[in-house]
Amino acid sequence: MAFELHLDTETVEHVRPAPALIVSPDAELLEVMSLMRRDRMGCVLVCRDGVLEGLFTERDALGLMAVTADWEVSISRVMTRNPVTVLVSDTVGAAIQKMSQGGYRRLPVVDNHRRAVGLLKVSTILDYLVQHFPAFVYNLPPNPHHAMQSREGA
């Protein structure tokens, strides 16, 4: 049973980026908010003809909720333009660094023509780590002081 954590060689494609919720720049904020709730998605990609133009996250939504904003505007007015992205061919390690440095919880995954392919989420990275750890790790005593002083039955 060996570890198989290849952060330097496996690419973003290997960790299976989640399908993203995609809306057009003309979509109304009110409609986008209800889509996010329906699909329980913390983020939408704003794309025109498949090409990524912006990003709107639950953090953006929170800021608007706190000031009870006008919901009847187009999403392009409140989205973040030209968000940081990762390529499908980037390594998992590189993606983790990008996320950590920028404090992002998710990064849009794009191809070489900046067409949106999916979404790389923090949770996807965590799932990847969990899957690559042998099950016995979780059977270890949770506390260092749980160590047995003598062998059982000896």
Site for another protein, rule CB under 8 A: 1-3, 5, 7, 30, 33-34, 36-37, 40, 42, 58-59, 61-63, 65-66, 68, 71, 93, 96-97, 99-101, 103, 105, 122-123, 125-127, 129-130, 133-134, 136-138, 140-144, 147-151, 154
In the block, which residue shows the tokens 């954590």?
Answer: 5
| Residue among 49 and 147 whose Cβ is closer to another protein | 147
User: Nearest distance from residue 6's CB to another protein, in Å?
Assistant: 9
In the block, which residue shows the tokens 């440095």?
Answer: 101
User: Nearest distance from residue 43's CB to another protein, in Å?
Assistant: 10
Element (H, E) at 81: strand 80-81
- CA-CA distance, 114 to 61, in Å (whole number)? 25
Query: How many CB atoms lie under 10 A from the CB of residue 43?
Result: 22
